[in-house]
Amino acid sequence: VKLYTYFRSSAAFRVRIALNLKGLAYESCFVHLPKGEHRGEAYGRVNPQALVPTLDTGAAKLNQSLAIIEYLEQTHPSPALLPTDALGRARVRSLSLLVACEIHPMNNLRALQYLRRELGQSEEGVTTWYRHWIADGLSKLEAELASSTRTGRFSHGDTPSMADCCLVPQIFNARRFDSDLRPYPTTMRIFDACMALDAFDRAQPSKQPDAE
């Protein structure tokens, strides 16, 4: 398979983790987001949503990181990134969506560029916006994780799941903008447990061939 990726893309980072956890080799195809390569005609033919990542399976080009991870789960069930019970699956999806739908879209590249360029916000204004949505979302994630008996060594039980594939890249983003992470001890404990695993470590931005 071929993964269209950018080292700093947290959505691509989620998929890199899932591929590594499942032991699947992939070829990387780099898309430089700050240069706007994702908005070009060539990438538009790969992904009409003009977003990274895309997974080219040979049979189809898949986009949206959680849809890609669910596809990998169905085609390569072991090790499982979703629990087998219906309630557990709903919980892991809920935690994943909390990151992917409630936090990440507020702070992705085009939202921040719009604040800067169209709305004339200063770097300070943009950073304040960024940290606000990180704090809003991570406090909710922390409340979920700290209050559930289903939280274990990882977000759900003692093996990594799709929720961890979402949690870890979001913490990397938060650190990049110097967000205060002290209010989220459960989240950070899980982050540390994930980063002790090779599959997470190898997927991190600084270890990608296109890292700058």
Ligand X SMILES: N[C@@H](CCC(=O)N[C@@H](CS)C(=O)NCC(=O)O)C(=O)O
Shortest approach of ligand X to residue 91 CB, angstroms?
19
Nearer to ligand X, 71 or 193 (CB): 71
User: What is the C-alpha to C-alpha distance for residues 83 and 145, in angstroms, rounded to an integer?
Assistant: 16
Q: Which is nearer to ligand X, 9 or 20 (CB)?
A: 9
Strand pairing category for 2-5 and 27-30: parallel
Instruction: Please identify, among the stretches 90-98, 105-113, 132-140, 184-192, the one whose residues bind ligand X according to the rule CB under 6 A.
Output: 105-113
> Exposed/middle/buried for 45, CB within 10 Å: 0-12, 13-18, 19+?
exposed
Largest distance between two CA atoms of the chain: 48
For position 110 contacting ligand X by CB under 6 A, the verdict is yes
Q: Is 190 in the site for ligand X (CB under 6 A)?
A: no
Restricting to residues 28-67, name those near ligand X by CB under 6 A.
33, 38, 51-52, 64-66
CA atoms within 13 A on the CB side of 130: 27
Nearer Cβ to ligand X (21/100):
100
Among 3, 4, 11, 70, binds ligand X (CB under 6 A): 11
Say if residues 25 and 79 touch (Cβ distance below 8 Å).
Answer: no
Choose the stretch contacting ligand X; rule: CB under 6 A; options: 3-11, 85-93, 148-156, 184-192. Answer: 3-11
100 touches ligand X by CB under 6 A: yes
CA dihedral (19, 150, 10, 72) positive or negative:
positive
Q: Which residues, in sequence order, are CB contacts of 154 under 8 Å at separation 6+?
A: 160, 161, 163, 164, 190, 193, 194
Q: Shortest Cβ distance from residue 158 to ligand X (Å)?
A: 26
Contact positions vs ligand X (CB under 6 A): 9-11, 33, 38, 51-52, 64-66, 100, 108-110
